[in-house]
Structures are given as structure tokens and as C-alpha cells.
Amino acid sequence: MTDAAEGIYLDYAATTPADPEVAHGIADLLTRQGIFGNPHSTSHRFGQAAHQAVEAARREVAQLIRADDDEIIWTSGATEAINLALKGVMLSPNARGGHLLVSALEHKAVLDTADWLSRHGVEAERLQPGDGGLITPALVRSHLRRDTALVSIMHVNNEVGTITDAAEIASVVHAHGALLHVDAVQSVARLPVDVSLMGADLLSLSGHKIYGPKGVGALYVRRAIRHLVEAQTHGGGQEGGLRSGTTPTHQVTGLGIAARLVRERLHADAARISSMDERLLRWIKQIDGVTLNGDQSARVQGIVSVAFRDVEAESLMLALGDIAVSAGSACTTALVEPSHVLLALGLSESDALSSVRFSPGRHTTAREIDAVGRRLIEAVTALRSIAA
Ligand SMILES: *Cc1c(COP(=O)(O)O)cnc(C)c1O
């Protein structure tokens, strides 16, 4: 064992540890004594038990977002769900047109898929946010075209935590006859999500961002638009033909348990994590030359992005030692590049490279926040005195 558990973990937006109930639920299934059968081999009781477990998990995930069970498609994570949503709609022979509109603030899973599609006959357009750094309904309306088939936005931004008004955007998109995909990876454990109220036609979520296991996620596909989505993985015809491959019973069961725990704890978690944010911000505000990135009036709890003037985020992270935070996006390579999201929000390159994301979660304690606050003040002061 390494001593990773000794550090302070403030990077829940990058990934969460699985809740112990999730971990035990998964482990119990794997062996001969567990529920190991092929969920698609329903001619015997081993397969039937697995099938029941898979469907029970599907119900939990459906309930989390207030969908119907048969609108949930298992995937290997949100990246695959997003690929299925974007490629599935844009490459379908039933596509309404060849125009795809994605917000410039999206995760790479959306942006890179859109880029790939643009090399395969689709006209993918990136929508830059307006002055306040938000993707507004009016902005979306002004970029919709008669051949827009799909619009993709994120509900909560993973780098700065801003909340997008998905419901208003959905009405604009629908009034135009296009479909809306929502990346809800960062929102489902932080805000109540109801796909009908939101008006999403497609919605992606991920196990490992909501205290479930890695390697599993789901795509919600509204029943009425299912015929507009073309499968991208072919084989045994599982998931109603939309995503072939043997369903990993243990993974989806873990996601199901995580979804139930989120439903049970959503409000308690949100209140606790908000108070952790506030506690951290009280420390941060003792430091001169700091700016909070992103619209703070529309920010969700648990994602706090801060630019420390004249301090390189990489050096700050080194100075913070075993405190795990993230500089810009955690999902890019080892290259130190300013985050595309912070640049799209109008930050200068140097402010973007001075930005650190603090992301407390379900297991963060006030003591940990205080330790981080003290270390942060010391580290920023020391780094600035070297630079001066
Ligand atoms: C993590 C993340 C993804 C990708 O999810 P995976 O399940 O890791 O593929 C997509 N979108 C956002 C906003 C994320 O934070």
C-alpha cells in the first residue's frame, strides 16, 4: 500500500472515491458465490439473476434523473456516452441536417468528438460564451440554423463550476426542431436533475464522478427520439441495439448503488460541501491578488477555481505537497497548456496558468480545509517572495 490515503484530497471533480457501500456491493457479485452470470443468458438462473441485478441498477439510475428505465443505455463512461450521443445523432441517416453546435466550454470528450465529426462530413461549430462567461439561451438561439440537428451543452462546468440554464436552452433548441444533449457528469451528484423538466433529449453521466466505480456510465435517450440515434458499437445487439457488448453486472450495480446514495444524500451533501467551499474561500480571501474564475452567482458547490496573480499553478501545486488539487483541466496531457475553458472565459494566458481548482466532496472535513488554507497562504507568500 502507498500512503496516498494520507494526503488531503480536493480533486473530487476529477474523480471520486467509490462509496464503501458501492465497493462492497461490487465485490459481492464477482465470484462463483456472487452474481457472475451473463445477464444476456437468461435461459438459466445464473443469467437471470444477473439480468435482474442489471435491471435493478437501471431503475436506480433512471430514478436519479427521473427518466424511464428503458431510456437508460449503459456505456463504459461519460466519454463513450458523449460519443454515442454526438456521433449517433449526426451520423444517423435520419439526421435533420449536418450542423452540430457545441459550447466552447465543453469537456474534451465533446470538443474532440465534434472535431472528429467535422472531419467526417459534419459542420461542427463552437459557440463562444458571452461577456459573463455563460452560454445563454439567446446566444444559442442566434447560432441555430435550419440544418442544426444537435446542440451539446454542459449542465455544470467541470473547471469553474458554473451552472448553465439547460431548461431555457432546451426550449430554444426545440422551438427550432433540433435536439439537445446535456453533459450532466458534474451536475447529477450536485443538483437535482429531472430530464423532463430540463428538456434534455440526451444526457450523459459517469460512475466515477458520483462516488461509483470507474469504467461505467450511462446515456439517457428520450424514448421519442431513439430512432434518431444510430448505434456506434456493433455486435450482440444489447441495450436495444444501441450499444452492443456484455453488460458488466458488477459495474452497473456499483453505479446503481451510487445513484441511490446520491438521491438519499443530495441535499445533505450539497449543504456540507457548500460550507466547505465557504470555509476555503474565507482562507483564500486573506490572500492578495486572487480572483475567482467563472460567474460566481451561478456556481455550484464543490468546484472553486481561483487565479493567484504572479504564481504559477504548477509551482503552487508542488508547494502544496500532498494536497491534491488540479490546475485547469485534469483531463489533458502532461503538457502545461492554459485551459481552453479559462481562455474561453476571457482569462489571460498567465491568469489561466495561475489558476487552481479546489474540489471538495462528500468526505472532505473542516480540519482538512483549514490545513489547506494555512498551507496555501504560506505557499503563495513564499512563491511570490521568490519571484519578487
Ligand atoms: C469526467 C468528465 C467527462 C468524462 O467522463 P468519463 O466517465 O471519465 O469518460 C465528461 N464530461 C465532464 C464534464 C467530466 O467532468
Do 63 and 69 touch, CB atoms closer than 8 A? no
CB burial string 356-365: b at 16+ within 10 A, e below = bbbbbbbebe
The set of residues, in sequence order, having a beta carbon less than 8 Å from that of 221 and lying 6+ positions away, is: 71, 73, 85, 201, 202, 229, 242
Q: Which pLDDT tens digits describe the chain residue by residue (388 residues)?
A: 445 567 999 999 999 999 999 999 999 999 999 999 999 999 999 999 999 999 999 999 999 999 999 999 999 999 999 999 999 999 999 999 999 999 999 999 999 999 999 999 999 999 999 888 899 999 999 999 999 999 999 999 999 999 999 999 999 999 999 999 999 999 999 999 999 999 999 999 999 999 999 999 999 999 999 999 999 999 999 999 999 999 999 999 999 999 999 999 999 999 999 999 999 999 999 999 999 999 999 999 999 999 999 999 999 999 999 999 999 644 455 667 899 999 999 999 999 999 999 999 999 999 999 999 999 999 999 999 987 7
Distance CA 355, CA 107 (A): 17
Question: Which protein residue's CA is at the shortest distance from atom 9 of ligand 1?
Answer: 79
Ligand 1 atom with the shortest distance to the CA of 106: 13
Whether 331 is catalytic: yes
Distance CA 339, CA 357 (A): 11
How close is the Cα of 211 to the center of ligand 1, in Å? Answer: 13
How close is the Cα of 79 to the center of ligand 1, in Å? Answer: 6
> Which of 83, 106, 107 is the best mutation target for the ligand 1 pocket, counting ligand atoms within 8 Å of the beta carbon and taking the most?
107
Handedness of CA 266, 272, 273, 278 (dihedral sign): positive
Going from the C-alpha of 187 to that of each of 157, 224, 263, 313, the distances in angstroms are 9, 24, 12, 26
Regarding the beta carbon of 158 and ligand 1, being less than 6 Å apart is answered: yes
Active-site pick, 331, 343, 377, 382: 331
Burial category of 48 from C-beta neighbours within 10 Å (exposed 0-12, middle 13-18, buried 19 and up) = middle
Distance CA 179, CA 275 (A): 37
Helices (H), the chain: 20-27, 45-64, 78-90, 108-118, 137-143, 166-175, 195-198, 249-284, 313-319, 340-344, 349-353, 366-387
Ligand 1 atom with the shortest distance to the CA of 81: 9
- Please give the model's pTM, rounded to 2 decimal places: 0.96
Distance CA 52, CA 247 (A): 12
> Which of 74, 164, 185, 203 is the best mutation target for the ligand 1 pocket, counting ligand atoms within 8 Å of the beta carbon and taking the most?
185
